[in-house]
Structure 1
Amino acid sequence: MSDTIQLKSRSGGRAARVALRSAPLAEDKRPVRAGMPGGRLKVLTDAEVLRIHHAALDALEQIGLSQAPQSGIEIMTRAGAILGDDGRLRFPRALVEDMLAKAARDITLFGRDPKYDLHLSGTNVHFGTAGAAVHIVDLATNTYRDSTAQDLFDAARITHNLENVHFFQRAMVCRDVLDNLEMDLNTIYACCSGTTKHVGTSFSDPSHVAPGFDMIHRIAGGEAAWRARPFISNSNCFVVPPMKFAEESCMAMESCIRGGMPVLLLSAGQAGATAPAPIALAIVQAVAECLAGVVYVNAMAPGHPAIFGTWPFVSDLRTGAMSGGSAEQALLTAGCAQMHHFYGLPGGAAAGISDSKLPDMQAGWEQGITNVLAGLSGLNMVYEAVGMHASLLGFCLESLVLGDDILGQVMRCVRGIDVTEDSTSIEAMKAVCLDGAGHYLGSDQTLQLMQTEYIYPVLGNRMSPKEWVEADRPMLLDKAIARKNTILAKAGRQIDVDVDAAIRADYRIYFE
């Protein structure tokens, strides 16, 4: 009899919980959301942060950077950089400190829909895509094929429908578009057609920036509307590690700044190859290179929105191959986040990369570990967080869908534990242990918190083995494929029909 009573009680509690979960929550009541503050994890001590800072300043004063374009030399030397006989620009400490004082803080990266605005202040955390994968993972055949403009558009549409992927930076190269200008334009249009979240792109040639802005202004509804809410940022590899400027990228960056586009100052050395092997010294080089970018940007346009993109990668020192899913990568990214906080600058770095070729167990642990450390460290912009395989060579749409579940769990870790007077009161314990049913399943407190303090996977399976068998043994990848197909079947374009028709009349667009 007692077993029967207990089962009925549990069943009733479960029914109540299911009913409560079906009710939508207001944004501010959801257990996780974009921009939640992290920063609880510190992989560097305060003394270690200072040591890295001073080493970076030493590198800028004593080594400097070579191969700046003439326009950049003029901009930076006017501000106080010193051009040596060896052609290297060196940066006195006082100059770096002056430019840091002018640098933009607490910036907002706008979405075309204001509900997707990203507020980059403090330790607010945002996860999104990025990269330049040249392949798409085809799970129907477990093979890799060239990525296309249609794949990029589909990835943007999927991202638009994922709650825990907060922005969409170009994740793959449109390899079916052979003309480089057409490829840059199709990249912009595929991203903006797929989502109204903030978009990141890149230009392969500085001469492509002006035609790119022509298209962007049409999407925005005019240049004034664009400048009021710039919804695209330029991912700019302005340096070629170690300690060299990338001339064409610098020129493209200058044009983007003049056009009112936020920039990501991206330093992407690879520890053991184009960056030093010690993790700490790899961070030193990345910080030095990005500080040079801070000087560059603020000498040209004080206070222009720029993201401090220390983005060092890791080599497998046995082979020299990149190892983006490694523990060392997770530590590099977390350490870089601390340096961003030290300078008080909006920062971004990479996490979530998998070296695995498919969305398997290896991909799960690599994406989980690196994203958790990035989030807990309070990294403002976590790039390449979902979908990336084969050490950035491949992108998988199903992995993008699965990554939404991963990032939901990661953001729950970022949120941490709410320790308040209410959450530590023993009154609920008294009610259950002294007067109640001996469990908390149907208690008012449990029902009140089950949606606001707990997050549940969309695809992740929490069935018992018996339930799993009775449900015909559902497999995770099958569910990911089904959700991908459902999203794409319903997702439309995020561009006004008339604007879309006009742009397609004037440009060669490679996706449907």
Structure 2
Amino acid sequence: MNVQTNARSGGRAARRAARAAALPDNLRPVRPGLEGGQYKPLSDADVARIHDAALTALETIGLADAPPSGVEILTGAGAVQGEDGRIRFPRAVVEDALAKANRAVVLHSRDARHDLDLSGTRVHYGTAGAAVHLVEVDGQHYRDSTVQDLHDAARIVDQLDNVHFCQRPMVCRDIPDNLEMDYNSVYACVSGTTKHIGTSFTDPAFVAPTIEMLHEIAGGEAAWRERPFVSNTNCFVVPPMKFATESCLVMEECIRHGMPVLLLSAGMAGATAPSTIAGAITQAVAECLGGLVYVNAIAPGHPAVFGTWPFGLDLRTGAMTGGSGEQALLSAGCAQMHAFYDLPGGAAAGIADSKLPDMQAGWETMCSNVMAGLSGLNMVYEAAGMHASLLGFCHESLILGDDVIGQALRCVRGIEVNDETLALDQIAAVCMGGPGHYLGTEQTLGRMQSDHCYPTYGNRMSPKEWVEMEKPDLLATATARKEAILSQRPAAALDPRIDRVIRDRFNIHLTV
């Protein structure tokens, strides 16, 4: 009797050990780059009409306020500057840019395991934004965000399986000098995570100094250009249909230095973009097609992300509605347009209008994250941590967002139908002379790790067990995880020799 019990116990222990061991990437239930595209809110005819309308807008309305260098670049590519100063784009010019565009973009990281393949409808989730506040759950308090907060966010991202990149989510409000703020933002992120980084620049003159720092980290200019692990988030347009002059100059400078660019059009539906979902998507597509011409006229095939980011608006109040169903549809529709052009694309999802990590934040975050993933959006920006319609960022929400994104990715993975998953042999064995249930069968145990995505922080206890475990609180669990991560030296910390060189050259605000 004891022998049998020990055998069963040993088998159970072995199974538990197997479940605790990390699965190879190809067997994980969710992982970066799962292919979406199952959800298509637009019909083929709708997509064709939006494309035609965008081309008409570029040809007849065009974009205003290009810098002199941009006028030269764009007219050299065949665009036409009218007497009103607007740059208009004949259809052939747009088609030529589409033919030259890079469709095989890989966003590199300092650790090649985290490289992001943006081909097809492969889906990746990450942070983004320019929140000016940190949300402190202890006391439900908003305060100015700092460079330390940004660094801590990057360190947390580095430890989260389902957050695949770290575009700067907060502004360093404790650094008043814009040049220092720009390069410190990059330093704070790069020294916190080896995943791909996204950042912006406030002035074109600030690009070159930051690039010098990145050359040092990469091991030289050639190594940087071969694997640029930081991209430029570039709001090159001020909707509706105007170039952002300074940002265009930043973009030109980044391209010269081999930095990938995110062409970001962020119209507000009902304010700076049409209030209809179709109209907001059309304008964003037109603006980003104009940006695509710009990029490929400077450097054909330069890595660029087609960043249609139209945002929803509450027309009763004029407040942004990042957590709305309309926002989810805007981003999903944009993903369809990216797929139509076969271009690497990105849009926003996962934003909460709620001020705190509560039930409202949960439904808002999940709604758009799932729809963005199902639509095959390559880069899902602002997917975790964002509150108050992008004004606040919360470390605990970033951690909890890892669970949200895990479930969203499981939806993206979908349902596999084959002889094994149809399970006819199992059904026969269980029903004819078997135990009458599937608990503990070899097939159930064999697939429980590869088929199912289990929450890390979400609580699936019974009420009885929950009471016995002293009623664990979700936010307290997230805070404990945050403190555990931040108590350790970051795995992405720079080599001390390189860090010393950088600190001798730059005024780095983070303490060692």
Q: Is TM (by shorter chain) over 0.5?
A: yes
For the residues of structure 2 that align with 1:19 and 1:463, how far apart are their CA atoms? Answer: 21
Q: In the alignment, which residue of structure 1 is the partner of 2:345?
A: 347
| CA 28–193 in structure 1, closer or farther in 2 if over 3 Å, else same | same
Q: In the alignment, which residue of structure 2 is the partner of 1:137?
A: 135
Partner SS, residue 312 of structure 1: coil
For the residues of structure 2 that align with 1:352 and 1:112, how far apart are their CA atoms? Answer: 26
Pick from 275, 278, 282: which aligns with 2:273? 275
Deviations 1:157-184 (A, max 9, x none): 0000000000000000000001000000
For the residues of structure 2 that align with 1:440 and 1:111, how far apart are their CA atoms? Answer: 43
Deviation at residue 463 of structure 1 after TM alignment: 0.2
Give yes or no for the alignment of 1:511 onto 2:471: no
Deviations 1:78-130 (A, max 9, x none): 11101000000000111101110000002100011000000000000000000
For the residues of structure 2 that align with 1:175 and 1:14, how far apart are their CA atoms? Answer: 53
Unaligned runs of 5+ in 1: 1-9
For the residues of structure 1 that align with 2:24 and 2:211, how far apart are their CA atoms? Answer: 36
Amino acid at match of 1:83: Q
- Determine if contact 1:286/1:310 at 8 Å carries over to the other structure: yes
For the residues of structure 1 that align with 2:321 and 2:239, how far apart are their CA atoms? Answer: 17
Partner SS, residue 452 of structure 1: helix
Give yes or no for the alignment of 1:73 onto 2:71: yes
- Determine if contact 1:13/1:441 at 8 Å carries over to the other structure: no
Q: In the alignment, which residue of structure 1 is the partner of 2:373?
A: 375
Partner SS, residue 450 of structure 1: helix
Partner SS, residue 380 of structure 2: strand
Runs of 4+ in 1 over 4 A off after TM superposition: 10-17
Deviation at residue 12 of structure 1 after TM alignment: 10
Amino acid at match of 1:42: K
For the residues of structure 1 that align with 2:416 and 2:13, how far apart are their CA atoms? Answer: 27
Deviation at residue 11 of structure 1 after TM alignment: 9.9
For the residues of structure 2 that align with 1:15 and 1:366, how far apart are their CA atoms? Answer: 40
Amino acid at match of 2:500: A
Q: In the alignment, which residue of structure 1 is the partner of 2:255?
A: 257
Q: In the alignment, which residue of structure 2 is the partner of 1:6?
A: none
For the residues of structure 2 that align with 1:20 and 1:211, how far apart are their CA atoms? Answer: 49
Unaligned runs of 5+ in 2: 1-7
For the residues of structure 1 that align with 2:244 and 2:159, how far apart are their CA atoms? Answer: 36
Amino acid at match of 2:429: A
Partner SS, residue 136 of structure 1: strand
Q: How does 1:305-324 map to 2 (within 5 A)?
A: 305-324=303-322
Give yes or no for the alignment of 1:161 onto 2:167: no
Deviations 1:279-307 (A, max 9, x none): 10000000000000010011111110000
Amino acid at match of 1:489: S
Amino acid at match of 1:347: G
Q: In the alignment, which residue of structure 2 is the partner of 1:284?
A: 282
Deviation at residue 50 of structure 1 after TM alignment: 0.4
- Determine if contact 1:202/1:236 at 8 Å carries over to the other structure: yes
Q: In the alignment, which residue of structure 1 is the partner of 2:5?
A: none
Pick from 123, 133, 143: which aligns with 1:125? 123
Q: In the alignment, which residue of structure 2 is the partner of 1:56?
A: 54
For the residues of structure 2 that align with 1:506 and 1:244, how far apart are their CA atoms? Answer: 37
Deviation at residue 24 of structure 1 after TM alignment: 1.9
Partner SS, residue 245 of structure 1: coil
Partner SS, residue 368 of structure 1: helix
- Determine if contact 1:213/1:259 at 8 Å carries over to the other structure: yes
TM-score (norm 1): 0.97
For the residues of structure 2 that align with 1:494 and 1:261, how far apart are their CA atoms? Answer: 22
Q: In the alignment, which residue of structure 2 is the partner of 1:231?
A: 229
Q: In the alignment, which residue of structure 1 is the partner of 2:300?
A: 302
Deviation at residue 434 of structure 1 after TM alignment: 1.1
For the residues of structure 1 that align with 2:117 and 2:505, how far apart are their CA atoms? Answer: 35
Partner SS, residue 53 of structure 1: helix
Deviation at residue 435 of structure 1 after TM alignment: 2.0
Partner SS, residue 449 of structure 2: coil
Give yes or no for the alignment of 1:193 onto 2:191: yes
Deviation at residue 212 of structure 1 after TM alignment: 1.1
Deviations 1:332-358 (A, max 9, x none): 000000000000100000000000000
Deviations 1:359-379 (A, max 9, x none): 000000000000000000000
Deviation at residue 15 of structure 1 after TM alignment: 6.3
For the residues of structure 2 that align with 1:143 and 1:161, how far apart are their CA atoms? Answer: 25
Amino acid at match of 1:35: G
Q: In the alignment, which residue of structure 1 is the partner of 2:87?
A: 89
Give yes or no for the alignment of 1:113 onto 2:111: yes
For the residues of structure 1 that align with 2:258 and 2:18, how far apart are their CA atoms? Answer: 46
Q: How does 1:373-412 map to 2 (within 5 A)?
A: 373-412=371-410
Q: In the alignment, which residue of structure 1 is the partner of 2:4?
A: none
For the residues of structure 2 that align with 1:440 and 1:375, how far apart are their CA atoms? Answer: 31
For the residues of structure 2 that align with 1:455 and 1:15, how far apart are their CA atoms? Answer: 21
Q: How many residues align?
A: 505
For the residues of structure 2 that align with 1:465 and 1:20, how far apart are their CA atoms? Answer: 28
For the residues of structure 2 that align with 1:117 and 1:19, how far apart are their CA atoms? Answer: 30
Q: In the alignment, which residue of structure 2 is the partner of 1:3?
A: none
Q: In the alignment, which residue of structure 1 is the partner of 2:291?
A: 293
Deviation at residue 506 of structure 1 after TM alignment: 2.3
Amino acid at match of 1:444: E
For the residues of structure 1 that align with 2:9 and 2:438, how far apart are their CA atoms? Answer: 13
Deviations 1:30-75 (A, max 9, x none): 1111001011000000000001000001100110000000000001
| CA 52–12 in structure 1, closer or farther in 2 if over 3 Å, else same | farther
Pick from 353, 359, 362: which aligns with 2:360? 362
Q: In the alignment, which residue of structure 2 is the partner of 1:424?
A: 422
Q: In the alignment, which residue of structure 2 is the partner of 1:460?
A: 458
TM-score (norm 2): 0.97
